[in-house]
Amino acid sequence: MEKKLYRSQSKMMPIFLTGLSLSYLSLDNIFNGPLRDFLSNYISLNEFGSNVREEVLYYIILFIGGFQLFTAIQGYFQPVIEITEYKIAIRTSEKLFTVVKNIQDLRQVNLDGEYLKFLFDDAEYSVFIENIDDVELQITLDHLNA
Q: For the domain with range 81-145, which CATH number is right: 1.25.40, 2.60.120, 3.30.1450, 2.40.50? A: 2.40.50
Computed over every residue of the chain, the mean pLDDT equals 85
Give start-end residues of each CATH 2.40.50 domain in the chain: 81-145
> How do residues 47-90 score in pLDDT, each as one tens digit?
766 778 888 988 999 999 999 999 899 888 888 888 888 899 99
Q: Which pLDDT value is given to residue 146?
A: 66
What predicted TM-score, i.e. pTM, was given to this entire model?
0.74
- For residue 17, is pLDDT > 90? yes
Using CA atoms, how far residue 60 sits from 27, 57, 104, 137, 144, in Å, is 11, 5, 45, 35, 42
Residue of 116 and 51 predicted with greater confidence: 116
Distance CA 69, CA 58 (A): 16
Q: How many CA atoms lie within 13 A of 12 on its CB side?
A: 18
- For residue 1, is pLDDT > 70? no
- For residue 112, is pLDDT > 70? yes
Q: Which pLDDT value is given to residue 49?
A: 65
CB atoms within 10 A of CB 26: 20
> How do residues 42-57 score in pLDDT, each as one tens digit?
776 667 667 788 889 8
Buried b (16+ CB within 10 A) or exposed e, 86-111: eebbbbbeeeeeebebeeeeeeebee
